[in-house]
């Protein structure tokens, strides 16, 4: 079996396992009976991700490297936007603890750790490349903001848009973006 464990094969197997695991998780833990309740926030997450990809087109902070199934970074980004992020949002909001700030903080931290671990694994096998000063640590800090903002959008959408704008302005200024670089 020569070539079975080439970097491209490992990356493909990792991503296929992630997608399969995601489909199982969303089937098992997603609140499909009341999906309409979460739909506006799923659209919010998709819109913010697409806006970020558009704005950072000429000044990327990271790229999802293609594999043998998704042959371009754009394909991987579109799968992330239209499959992974909405499915994760459905699972995240479906199981968000109703009461107790300690339980809610632990729940958010569990999601941050999960996303951080998956990104670390993806980075180690060559699935993600960082640019312009961004790193795995920055992604984890971003996740610390992202998950509370997703919950905030579910409860108070205008405040979540303002919080997202504040995070975007901070990232744009902290990582050297200029208006000339924007598409």
> In which band, very low, low, confident or very high, does the pLDDT at 108 lie, cut at 50, 70 and 90?
very high
Share of the chain above pLDDT 90, in %: 58
In this structure, are residues 128 and 63 in contact, taking their beta carbons and an 8 Å threshold? yes
Q: What is the pLDDT of residue 9?
A: 74
What's the average model confidence in pLDDT over 34-43?
Answer: 96
Q: What is the pLDDT of residue 181?
A: 63
> In which band, very low, low, confident or very high, does the pLDDT at 101 lie, cut at 50, 70 and 90?
very high
Residue 74: Cβ within 10 Å count: 12
Question: pLDDT digits over 39-60, tens only?
Answer: 999 999 999 999 999 888 889 9
Full 3-state SS string of 79-145: HHHHHHHHHHHHHHHHCCCCCCHHHHHHHHHHHHHHHHHHHHHHHHCCCEEECCCCCHHHHHHHHHH
> In which band, very low, low, confident or very high, does the pLDDT at 5 lie, cut at 50, 70 and 90?
low
Q: What is the pLDDT of residue 167?
A: 97
């Amino acid at each position: 079996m020569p070539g079975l464990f080439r970097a491209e094969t490992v990356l493909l197997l990792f991503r296929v396992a992630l997608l399969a695991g995601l489909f199982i998780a969303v089937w098992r833990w997603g609140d499909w009976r009341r999906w309409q309740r979460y739909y506006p926030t799923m659209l919010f997450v998709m819109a913010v991700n697409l806006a970020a990809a558009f704005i950072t087109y000429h000044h990327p902070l990271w790229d999802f490297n293609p594999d043998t199934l998704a042959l371009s970074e754009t394909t991987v980004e579109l799968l992330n936007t239209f499959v992974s992020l909405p499915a994760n949002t459905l699972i995240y909001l479906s199981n968000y603890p109703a009461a107790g700030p300690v339980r809610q903080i632990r729940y958010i931290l569990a999601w941050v750790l999960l996303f951080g671990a998956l990104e670390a694994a993806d980075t180690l096998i060559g699935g993600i490349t960082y640019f312009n000063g961004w790193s795995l640590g920055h992604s984890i800090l971003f996740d610390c903001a992202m998950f509370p903002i997703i919950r905030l959008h579910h409860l108070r959408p205008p405040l979540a848009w303002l919080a997202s704008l504040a995070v975007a302005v901070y990232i744009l200024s902290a990582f050297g973006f200029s208006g000339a670089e924007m598409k």
